[in-house]
Amino acid sequence: MSTGIGFGIAIPHASSSKVHEVVAAFGRSSSGIPFDSLDGEPVNFIVLFVVPKDQFQTHLRTLAAIAKFLNDKTVREELSKAPSPAAILQVFENRSTRA
């Protein structure tokens, strides 16, 4: 099943015995990436994360938090307009202090 959830968002995820805490990476594409998303649209934002093996609740909470964060149209607009990796990180940091 595709991890492209719509609105230009994909959240590929896995668990592994090689990590001891959640590890994540964020990517942005201005032109969009074909991803077989649920809505058939290209993906502009990808958050890949890996959770330690056998931490199912952490896996679900992480997935839900990322989906909720990126479901906010304002967040997606801010991430789209961010001119640099530092500005993208600032969007994440600013939003995390509001939660």
Catalytically active residues are 13
Count of CB atoms within 10 A of residue 64's CB? 10
CA distances from 67 to 70, 73, 83 (A): 5, 12, 23
Q: Residue 87, Cα to own-chain centre: how many angstroms?
A: 16
